[in-house]
Amino acid sequence: MMTTGIVQEKRINIMDICKINEQIERLEQELAKLKAEATAPSQYELEYKEGSIFLVGYRDAPMRWNVGKDEGHIKTGRYRKTEEFADEHFQAQNEMMRLGALIEAVTIELGMEDWVEDWNDRDQTKYCVRYNHEDNKYGESYFGINRITGVIYMPQKVAERVCKILNNKEYEL
């Protein structure tokens, strides 16, 4: 009897509770749909599943996790679907890290730490290191306005010195 009195006193009836529950359910469904859309990969993102390879280190060989996927690491771009892609991309990453370390050392050696690539300055020539597979030599290439993704740019003197070191086999990538 006391319960009935409380419900009547607050003027809540079962119909109101049912309507509220229906609204909550509808809102939960809408929220689930929005979450799914927000976390859906773009057409260029691969869907990684159990057994995908996650590159976790730079050593003589790729250190891997392949026990599942970690959503927090997907955006780092370090997952690969196959061993072949993992090995190929690991080698390229390792080479880029070693090249970056050499460029930094030469930049410091030549006292050019203040140089910064400025893509708004068409007159500033930006140099990078390239490898010619025909003569098996490193050389420098330069750009004024075209920026290639994944390339480290530097002043001409640094590029020339880096190529000389690599061609003399004083340092290997």
Q: Does a structural domain hold residue 5? A: yes
pLDDT of residue 39: 63
Domain assignment present for 111: yes
Predicted local confidence at residue 46, as pLDDT: 47
What's the pLDDT score for residue 20?
Answer: 81
Judge whether 127 lies within some domain. yes
Rounded Cα distance, 139 and 116, in Å? 21
Q: What CA–CA distance (Å, rounded) separates 160 from 164?
A: 6
In a shared domain, residues 94 and 158 = yes
Residues 94 and 163 in one domain: yes
Residue 31 is assigned to a structural domain of this protein:
yes
pLDDT tens over the chain, length 173 residues = 455 555 555 556 666 777 888 888 888 888 888 777 666 555 444 454 555 555 555 445 555 555 455 555 555 666 666 778 777 877 888 888 889 989 999 999 999 999 999 989 989 999 999 999 999 999 999 987 788 888 999 999 999 999 999 999 998 88
The pLDDT of residue 99 is 93
CA 148/CA 155 separation, integer angstroms: 16
Whether 75 is in a domain gets the answer no
Evaluate whether residue 77 is within a structural domain: no
What pLDDT does residue 3 have?
A: 54
In a domain, 27, yes or no: yes
Residue 136 backbone class (left: φ over 0; alpha: ψ -120 to 50; beta: rest): left
157 and 95, same structural domain?
yes
pLDDT of residue 129: 96
> Can you give the pLDDT at residue 22?
85
- The domain total for the chain is 2
What is the extent of the structural domain holding 150? 90-167
58 domain-assigned: no
Co-location of 104 and 163 in the same domain: yes
